[in-house]
Amino acid sequence: MNLEDLVRLRRARDRMDREYAEPLDVTALARGAHMSPGHFSRSFRAAFGETPYSYLMTRRVERAKALLRRGDLSVTEVCFAVGCTSLGSFSTRFTELVGESPSAYRARDHGDTAALPACISKIHSRPVKNGDPRTPPLP
């Protein structure tokens, strides 16, 4: 993969970080990266270790966790606020990444992590699929 492609892929990833609540799809992201959807998906996975969809959903779940911890929005409102259009798909993906349903996560006491700096909390609370050990658990 050449440097030019990596720059375009990084811009697409940055766009997903910024516009996670927008209706992004592989076709739109690939168009922005000046690649075909197939080439974009394969290149993104080779560069970042996950598919564009998986990366975007992880970002959305990460933002959803923050909104659910606040407790002032319903699970449905959070689902739509982070850009998901299906409550069922959102709940399934959230449960897959976090290990509990959005409702259970929202109902749980989050006071133990309130004292942690945001930069540390974000690292340790990043959702990972199937208990992937890339991130150590909070003490």
Q: Which of 70, 95, 71, 91 is nearest to 79 (CA)?
A: 91
Instruction: State phi, psi for 134 to the nearest 5 degrees.
Output: -60, -30
Cβ atoms of 67 and 94 within 8 Å: the answer is no
Tell me the per-residue pLDDT of 2-21, one tens digit each, with 9 for 90 and over: 999 999 999 999 999 999 99
Q: Could you tell me where the DSSP H helices lie in 52-130?
A: 52-70, 75-81, 87-98, 102-107, 118-125
pLDDT at 139 over 60: no
Least confident of 16-25, 53-62, 110-119: 110-119
Q: What pLDDT does residue 28 have?
A: 93
Rounded to 10 degrees, the C-alpha dihedral 28/42/136/71 comes to 20
Tell me the per-residue pLDDT of 115-135, one tens digit each, with 9 for 90 and over: 556 566 556 566 666 555 444
Give the start-to-end residue ranges of the domains of the chain. 3-49, 61-131
**Full-model pTM:** 0.79
